[in-house]
Structure 1
């Protein structure tokens, strides 16, 4: 179990009693098993009291040697309560170890996530990181390029209440082309229309995005999202090959399911096309009504994504 510390100033600390309730229930369910806890810090202090986010690097460091997983036939990572930076780097490290050391006899590697858009909307992010950057292991060479020569294509996956995140990411990336990604089809058929309405001024009046640049990916199918993102980025790279190709940046401001599609795209294109994952994180979270949110949990759906291994066996 990963125990991540957001720091004493995090607005999430007010929900500690609810965390303790869940922890107690988990230990009850695992009463006959050994629960190993690994602690990581999401922040470290820099000079002059400034903070630097280190959770992604510490998460990747939890898996330091392939021998830690060599004897397992099945590995399951539940990302339901993990910050994006933590599970991106952790899952990326698992995939790289499996591809490098167990390609011929890969374990079954699963990602599980409890998905509920209604709950996501009720969790409000408080304060945006001042120092944003590319996730550890998913820099795509972008973090090293100060004066980039290649054109940069940015694919932000849109979600609710992310206007400030989008603006901050745009300033950081300075893209030449923007392809906003909308969740459609989705459980709420009007969700993509509402997102366009919310961000209309930013996308079409300030950033001058062409309507044909809009992309649509199924809200509940990370593999289809992975395929469409990969195809779009490769098409851009091939079209601009005469100029030396292009760099691509993906930012995910939507659900964890679509984030998995983003992760797979960035990982698959590693070493082929420079793809960076720029994460704009928050300094804490607040919940509108915790009791109401608990009632909504009954509507949550569990998704299991099978990434490596042998899905079918012969009798």
Structure 2
């Protein structure tokens, strides 16, 4: 059974994704669709596209966070009712806790526990993971779990994502004050073996996340080298410069890094991030193999979600540890719409994770 690799990764983007979903997935024998439903209306995009097809079982995770604005909760309920009416008995909703009662981060553990029986069900020809509305703490472990299930069972596993170049939902995340190893992506990072490892930290940088990145850096300290990723090209050509200005003190003073260490990756192309991380890791492994020292590359997805998928692909293929800061909740001044507005995102991606690529018609 085949799995994506750095040298062979089958993808579709833009309107090619729509054609693929309608022409290929809609004609598959039996499809398991796993997604989320919440405040982001974009998460309705692919379920609605597939809703005309009878042979799809829909499983939706509902991420339960302790601090979410009432208006956002109401929007999430509105979207859930819409899907329940659209899909009827074909859909199931499963609520998962992101933060435990003792304030521990349990997003990944909760998600894989909920998804496990779905993936073990026999009879599916294709598994679709729609990460559009999933947080990274949920999506990364679930996607890795689906890849492993696909390799064991011989099922095709697909990853879908949709987004807007300019976000349409007005909300602000509230981050935890602790950095955690993502479930399933810890490796040996807390073992004594890592005490002398030369750590390369590759964080995604985005607006209003300086405190979160500082929290991650303190957990990793000492760090041999920091190579942050900035979005370029991007919808706003100045976005990378604006983020760099926000992080200038952290970059040059706290992290001891320089402008020469910055990685620029396309804002809306996960393969650009995937290639950049894979190439950097490979070069570093080769260099330190000759010195006898032990390097380790640590990823931190904290920026744009589509770019984060590139980090996910690199982490799965190269078995890289992933450190992140979980989101405790969201605040918002947005009102609740009277009815559901069906999304029309301009960014769409399909990534073939496992399986044998369909033959052309």
Query: Retained in 1: the 8 A contact 2:165–2:347?
Result: no
Q: Residue 14 and residue 178 in structure 1: after superposition, are their counterparts in 2 closer, same or farther (change >3 A)? A: same
How far did 1:162 drift?
0.6
Change (3 A) 1:145 1:161: farther
* TM-score normalized by the length of structure 1: 0.85
Corresponding position of 1:197:
245
Alpha carbons 1:119, 1:297 under 8 Å: kept = no
Structure 2 residue 83 is the aligned partner of structure 1 residue 21: no
Structure 1 residues 5 and 299: alpha-carbon distance in aligned structure 2, compared to 1, 3 A threshold: closer
Secondary structure of the 1:254 match is coil
CA distance in 1, matches of 2:131, 2:81: 19
Residue deviations 1:195-222 (CA, integer Å, cap 9, x gap): 1122112212332312221111111111
Against the structure 1 CA distance between its residues 301 and 173, is the aligned structure 2 distance closer, same or farther, given a 3 Å change threshold? same
**Shift in Å, 1:66:** 8.6
Could you report, residue by residue, the CA deviation over 1:177-201 in whole angstroms, capped at 9, with x for unpaired residues? 0001111122222221221122112
Structure 1 portions without partners, runs of 5+: none
Q: Match of 1:143, SS?
A: coil
Corresponding residue for residue 199 of structure 2: 152
**TM-score when normalising by structure 2:** 0.75
Tell me: CA distance 1:39–1:299, structure 2 relative to 1, closer, same or farther (3 Å). closer
CA change 1:267–1:299 in 2 (3 A) is closer
User: For this pair of structures, how many residues does the alignment match?
Assistant: 298
Is 1:139 equivalent to 2:174 in the alignment?
A: no
1:243 and 2:292 equivalent? yes
Measure how far apart 1:288 and its partner are: 4.3
Structure 2 unaligned spans of 5+: 1-59
Q: Is residue 228–residue 262 contact of structure 2 (8 Å, CA) maintained in 1?
A: yes
How far does residue 135 in structure 1 lie from its aligned partner after superposition? 0.6
SS of structure 2 residue aligned to 1:21 = helix
Shift of 1:304: 2.5
1:299 to partner: Cα distance: 5.2
Which residue matches 1:86?
138
Write out aligned runs for 1:30-41 (5 A).
30-31=87-88, 33-41=89-97
Query: 2:21 matched to which residue of 1?
Result: none
